[in-house]
């Protein structure tokens, strides 16, 4: 069954003078997906989200947002969207309740009770009369989430939504987002540095590095690719790798940017690999089985990219 | 746009800045008339405890009122660039143009209320406390106000155009002084030498507000809008200035987009 496309970008590029913040991004997000945007600082994640939210304008390329691809259309589409980009922005002199009420009126959301419901949803009922300037980082983040969730948007654009939250807050917000996605089909695009947390929620991943989309993969595909591998660190990588190919006829390996060697595929006799180093007077620094999770996969992706840059 | 304006009205009602600004102006008017009354009460020779003198301070003090248009624009804009709340409006589907016009209209609305309250206080406390001169001073003050309202609108418009184009309230404040005083003062001075600049300076709003002339026949001072030609010119200068600034603002915001 063909899924409805909520966001589609084509060669989306943003540059500031000679600096390219995002280059030729082709991303597709379908209805009901939770898209995890992963990348280092400066990879282009926030730039991408800001373009969706209308804070900045693309230098080139185009995008479709909730079926709209004109400036006028984006304004209509954004009324069906909730967003937190970078730190939540509110009026410091107004309380949590007043700030939400301000935005409730602005967004034309009927019913004053929506504000109380939103505050309860994000766990801020007791702090509703606290002025924004007096709130902790975690409270501010919850209020930002509340603002994004208010009015039951079809699409949520969240930039580091669990930043500053305590562990129980992270679990609460995760459960809330999952509930919204599963019960109401809300589509989400979430950028986060906390990869372990993202892996609990995302159904799709987009990996960004140095302004480019390096890979897009579904959670299922990632799971399939998750496998045990043998990580070896030696004092003489070149010699060891040469011996791996010649003595053990092993070609299913990767040399990572950090100098470690990953032996992939089925590994029958672990001791042969350690013996290979020892018997040829190569120092063995690390030897152990590891599992590919999101963090490892991300490092692998970025590592590959770094290697490719180095090879040029 | 209506929802945006309603939300801004909600915020302004809860903003201390607006109440402090208008309240301070009201207190100033009361203090002024109370002082005049007190001096008149304790000194028989004190000639200024009259409605003529009190209301003439409004007539000759329009430049001060002009400065207040900048202050009220800044207070109502609410540091939105500093707090980044402006980006929320964009994220919720409001264009910069909608935000600009909404805030501009709302500022004019709140300024009108403030003006009525402040001028009302001046006139009310003056009539209550001071000797009634009955030489048409009330009509003169109200006529001055009517003539200068377009210039005040021009002041508010200038403030908002600069805030939106420079994306900084602080930079806009300096630019506002630059536009309305920094440009007009040299033109006025050079106008003493060059005829065409003299003619130009007669249309510059800040110059008009300070254009006071001595009537050699009666020996009294009068503002430019107290003549028929001057009254028309004052209104036209305000209207033209507002239109020019609005066009600059609209073009500038479109270019930013």
pLDDT at residue number A308? 43
The stretch A298-307 carries a mean pLDDT of: 62
Question: Which of B7, B85, B93 is the closest to A79 by Cβ?
Answer: B93
Give yes or no for A145 touching B (CB within 8 A): no
Q: What is the pLDDT of residues A53-106, one digit of tens each?
A: 988 999 999 999 999 999 889 988 998 999 988 888 999 999 999 999 999 999
Name which residue leads in pLDDT, A234 or B226.
Answer: A234
Q: Does the beta-carbon distance from B6 to A105 stay under 8 Å? A: yes
pLDDT at residue number A226? 66
Eight-class DSSP state of A131: B
Q: What is the pLDDT of residues A124-149, one digit of tens each?
A: 999 999 999 999 988 898 899 999 99
* Best CA proximity match to A193, nearest among A22, A46, A38: A38
Give yes or no for A53 touching B (CB within 8 A): yes
Question: Which of B3, B90, B93 is the closest to A105 by Cβ?
Answer: B3
| ipTM value | 0.87
Does the structure show a pLDDT above 80 at A190?
yes
B102, closest residue in chain A (CA to CA): A106
* Residues A298, A306 contacting (CB under 8 angstroms): no
Question: How many C-beta atoms surround the C-beta of residue B11 within 10 A?
Answer: 24
Which position has the token pair 């709302």?
B106
Q: Does the beta-carbon distance from B87 to A147 stay under 8 Å? A: no
Question: Which of A57, A92, A106 is the closest to B92 by Cβ?
Answer: A106
How far is the C-alpha of B179 from the C-alpha of B158, rounded, in Å? 8
Domain regions of chain B by residue span: 2-256
Q: Which two tokens stand for residue A292?
A: 């590919």
Give yes or no for A109 touching B (CB within 8 A): no
Question: How far away is chain A from the Cα of B78, in angstroms, using its nearest Cα?
Answer: 8
Kindly report the average pLDDT of chain A as a whole number. 87
3-state secondary structure chain B: CHHHHHHHHHHHHCCHHHHHHHHHHHHHHHHHHHHHHHHHHHCCCCCCCEHHHHHHHHHHCHHHHHHHHHHHHHHHHCCHHHHCCHHHHHHCCCCHHHHHHHHHHHHHHHHHHHHHHHHHHHHHHHHHHCECCCCCHHHHHHHHHHHHHHHHHHHHHHHHHHHHHHCCHHHHHHHHHHHHHHCHHHHHHHHCCCHHHHHHHCCCHHHHHCCEEECCCCCCEEEHHHCHHHHHHHHHHHHHHHHHHHHHHHHHHHHHC
pLDDT at residue number B235? 95
Q: Does the beta-carbon distance from B85 to A54 stay under 8 Å? A: no
Give yes or no for A98 touching B (CB within 8 A): yes
How far is the C-alpha of A202 from the C-alpha of A223, rounded, in Å? 12
Q: What is the pLDDT of residues A214-235, one digit of tens each?
A: 989 888 887 776 667 889 999 9
Give yes or no for B75 touching A (CB within 8 A): no
pLDDT at residue number A312? 40
Does the structure show a pLDDT above 60 at A305?
no
pLDDT at residue number A295? 72
Residues of chain B contacting A157 with CB distance shorter than 8 Å: 91
Q: What is the pLDDT of residues B140-191, one digit of tens each?
A: 899 999 999 999 999 999 999 999 999 888 999 999 999 998 888 888 889 8
Does the structure show a pLDDT above 50 at A17?
yes
B16, closest residue in chain A (CA to CA): A93
Q: What is the pLDDT of residues B36-83, one digit of tens each?
A: 999 998 888 888 899 999 999 898 889 899 999 999 999 999 888 888
Does the structure show a pLDDT above 80 at A291?
no
Ordered alpha helix ranges (H), A15-154 = 45-53, 71-78, 96-106, 113-121, 137-149
Domains of chain A: 5-223 (3.40.50.300), 227-291 (3.30.70)
pLDDT at residue number A310? 43
Does the structure show a pLDDT above 90 at A40?
no
The stretch B114-129 carries a mean pLDDT of: 94
Is-above-0.90 flag for pTM? no
């Amino acid at each position: 069954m063909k899924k409805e496309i909520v966001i589609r970008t084509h060669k989306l590029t943003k540059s500031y003078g000679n600096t390219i913040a995002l280059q030729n991004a082709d991303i597709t997000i379908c209805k009901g997906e939770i898209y995890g945007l992963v990348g280092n600082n400066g990879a282009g994640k926030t730039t991408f989200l800001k373009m969706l939210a209308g804070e900045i304008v693309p230098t080139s390329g185009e995008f479709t947002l909730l079926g709209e691809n004109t400036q006028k259309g984006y304004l209509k589409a954004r009324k069906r969207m909730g967003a937190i980009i970078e730190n939540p922005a509110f009026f410091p002199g107004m309380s949590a309740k007043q700030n939400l009420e301000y935005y409730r009126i602005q967004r034309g959301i009927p019913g004053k009770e929506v504000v109380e419901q939103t505050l309860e949803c994000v766990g801020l009922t007791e702090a509703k009369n606290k002025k924004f300037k007096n709130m902790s980082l975690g409270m501010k983040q919850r209020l930002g989430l509340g603002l994004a969730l208010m009015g039951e948007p079809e699409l949520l654009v969240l930039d580091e939504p669990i930043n500053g939250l305590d562990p129980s807050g992270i679990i609460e917000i995760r459960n809330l987002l999952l509930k919204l996605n599963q019960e109401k089909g809300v589509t989400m695009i979430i950028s986060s540095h906390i990869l372990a947390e993202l892996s609990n929620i995302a159904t799709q991943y987009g990996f960004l590095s140095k302004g480019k989309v390096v890979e897009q993969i579904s959670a299922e595909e990632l799971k399939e690719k998750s496998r045990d591998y043998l990580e070896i660190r030696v004092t003489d990588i070149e010699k060891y790798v040469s011996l791996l190919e010649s003595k053990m006829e092993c070609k299913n390996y990767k040399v990572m940017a950090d100098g470690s060697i990953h032996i992939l595929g089925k590994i029958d006799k672990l001791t042969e690999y350690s013996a290979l180093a020892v018997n040829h007077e190569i120092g063995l620094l690390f030897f152990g089985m590891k599992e590919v999770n999101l963090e490892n996969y991300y490092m692998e992706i970025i590592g590959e990219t770094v290697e490719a840059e180095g090879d040029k | 746009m209506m929802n945006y304006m309603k939300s801004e009205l909600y915020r302004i009602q809860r903003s201390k800045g607006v109440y402090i600004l208008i309240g301070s102006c009201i207190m100033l008017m009361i203090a002024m008339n109370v002082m005049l009354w007190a001096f008149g009460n304790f000194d028989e020779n004190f000639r200024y405890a009259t409605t003529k003198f009190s209301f003439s301070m409004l007539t000759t003090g329009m430049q001060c009122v002009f400065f207040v248009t900048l202050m009220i624009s800044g207070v109502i804009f609410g540091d939105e660039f500093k707090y980044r709340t402006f980006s929320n409006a964009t994220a919720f589907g409001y264009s910069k143009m909608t935000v600009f016009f909404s805030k501009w209209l709302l500022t004019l609305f709140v300024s009108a209320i403030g003006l009525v309250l402040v001028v009302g206080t001046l006139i009310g406390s003056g009539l209550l406390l001071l000797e009634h001169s009955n030489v048409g001073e009330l009509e003169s003050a109200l006529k001055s106000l009517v003539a200068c309202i377009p210039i005040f609108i021009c002041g508010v418009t200038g403030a908002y155009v600069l805030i939106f184009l420079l994306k900084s309230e602080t930079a806009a404040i300096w630019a506002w002084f630059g536009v309305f005083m920094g440009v007009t003062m040299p033109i006025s001075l050079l106008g003493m030498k060059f005829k065409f600049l003299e003619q130009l300076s007669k249309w510059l709003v800040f110059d008009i507000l300070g254009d006071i002339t001595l009537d050699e026949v009666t020996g009294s001072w009068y503002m430019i809008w107290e003549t028929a030609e001057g009254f028309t010119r004052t209104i036209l200068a305000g209207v033209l200035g507002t239109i020019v600034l609005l066009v600059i603002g609209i073009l500038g915001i479109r270019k930013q987009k």
